[in-house]
Amino acid sequence: MSERHVDCPALFISSTASGQGKTTLTAALARLHRRQGRRVAVFKTGPDYLDPLILSHAAGGPVEPLDLWMAGPEFCRQQLFDAARHHDLILIEGAMGLFDGQPSSADLAATFNIPVVAVINARGMAQTVAAVAFGLKHLPRSADNRHHLAGIVTNGVGSLRHRELIEHSLPSDIALLGNLPREEALALPSRHLGLVPPDEQEALDARFDAAADHLADSPLADLPAACRFTDQHIPAPPRLLSGTHIAVGRDAAFSFIYAANLRLLEAMGARLSYFSPLTEALPEADACWLPGGYPELHAHTLSSNTALHTSLADHHQAGRPILAECGGMLLLQQTLTDLDGHCYPMSGLLPGHGEMRTKRGCQGMQAAPLPEGEIRGHAHHHSRSHDTLPPIAHGRRAFHTAPGEAIYRQGRLTASYLHLFFASHPVAIAKLFVATTSAPIAAMADA
């Protein structure tokens, strides 16, 4: 098959660190260009559930993850190609600072030749912004993988004079593309684990519109130069889940779900249905997926839903598969203690007690070395579990030798703090969810 490609304007939004305004700028640009009648596709670098919810609200469409390690370069390339075919602009929000991580945002931007716009929070500095911008532009991660810095946007600018001091100090090869003022009305509220979801915020659209207004007369209001995106020709996954009904927990307590995971299950033939663990029992199904989220914010309601606990126990005792990730695992343990120290009984399918913590937790890329195959994913939690089952394995950290998250197995129930990215090993995922392990699937363990 001949190579196919398509051109589409694109920008990569990065910064010096987390909390500098990347999400605000990306959402503002999405809103600004949508107001001009353009179709905008937005992606988020790395493992993240909360920023994409905010960005999806601004972009008017789903926001997909892009990560060279977790998802792989082929997946990323295909996602960008598909987006370029149907949109007028692609925006990608980076993770942490431009050079943080391995691979970093700079690596991702360079891999696909997407120009970078760096957000610099200028609060408490003026001419020093030039030095920071110079470093972001001229420090490459490697000689053959250099990113291109198209310019900077300053955030937290206090006055016109503040802006002038910054602009006059910049080298001639670094453009000041826009400014966001120091206004509380532009800031996005956050809590433990990240930003507050959009359905819990008031006046979110007003925040987006206000930020977009500040960029309306800037160069960012125009489309950037087009980038070329190539078709990866990823084949359709095998339909190993044909006829399998998977019930997915999804509500305010369990919302950490990648749309790509749902698409893969359906592409493999699964029929998905959704239920709310807060208010409903687990419906009759061949398998169950309990994703992560914020069960600690709804512990009393979850504890009181006795129909849920009974249905989960019946499902488990019948030998039907359950995949419980992070918050889903906390639901299945014996108790959950929230941030205020209140302890609530949970389903008790697994030995263990979950306790929330305000500071210490775990985050980062890990692979789950399951008997079904190794599936890549990540950890992101501010809790710990104790008095658990002996784990069958520990997560393998992407770039560190220390053991990762414990992985528990009891019958057909698999639980861990890890959030899995299903497309990293579709066959292994199918084996986790299939009602009975069939010979064809067993034979494809290493596919």
What pLDDT score does 364 carry?
82
pLDDT beneath 50: ranges in the chain: 1-2, 191-192, 438-447
Question: What angle do the packed helices 259-267 and 426-433 form, to 10 degrees?
Answer: 80
Confidence (pTM): 0.89
Helix 160-169, helix 128-138: angle, nearest 10: 50
Domain borders along the chain are 5-230, 245-443
Alpha-helical segments (H) within 183-252 = 204-215
Angle (deg, nearest 10), helices 22-35 and 204-215: 80
Domains 5-230 and 245-443 share a fold: yes
Q: What is the pLDDT of residues 222-267, one digit of tens each?
A: 999 999 999 999 999 999 999 999 999 999 999 999 999 999 999 9
**Which residues neighbour 215 within 8 Å (Cβ) at sequence distance 6 or greater?**
28, 29, 32, 178, 180, 221
* Domain covering 5-230 in this structure, CATH number: 3.40.50.300
DSSP letters for 277-318: TTT-PPPS-SEEEE-BS-GGGGHHHHHH-HHHHHHHHHHHHT
How far is residue 158's CA from residue 68's CA, in Å, rounded to a whole number? Answer: 37
Question: What is the C-alpha to C-alpha distance for residues 224 and 38, in angstroms, rounded to an integer?
Answer: 13
Return the pLDDT at 59.
87
Write down the pLDDT at residue 438. 47
The torsion region of residue 233 among left (phi > 0), alpha (psi -120 to 50) and beta comes to left
CB neighbours of 118 closer than 8 A, spacing ≥ 6? 14, 15, 16, 98, 133, 136, 149, 151, 152, 153
Cite the active site residues. 326
* Phi and psi, residue 371, nearest 5°: -55, -30
pLDDT at 159: 93
Q: What span, in angstroms and rounded, lies between the C-alpha atoms of 332 and 330?
A: 5
Give residue 2's pLDDT.
Answer: 47
CA 338 from centre of chain: 24
How high is the pLDDT of residue 184? 66
- Residues 333-357: b if buried by 16+ CB within 10 A, e if exposed: bbbbbbbeeeebebbebbebbbbbe
- Domain 245-443: assigned CATH number: 3.40.50.880
Q: Which residues of 10-43 are buried (b: 16+ CB within 10 A; e: fewer)?
A: bbbbbbbeeebbbbbbbbbbbbbbbeeeeebbbb
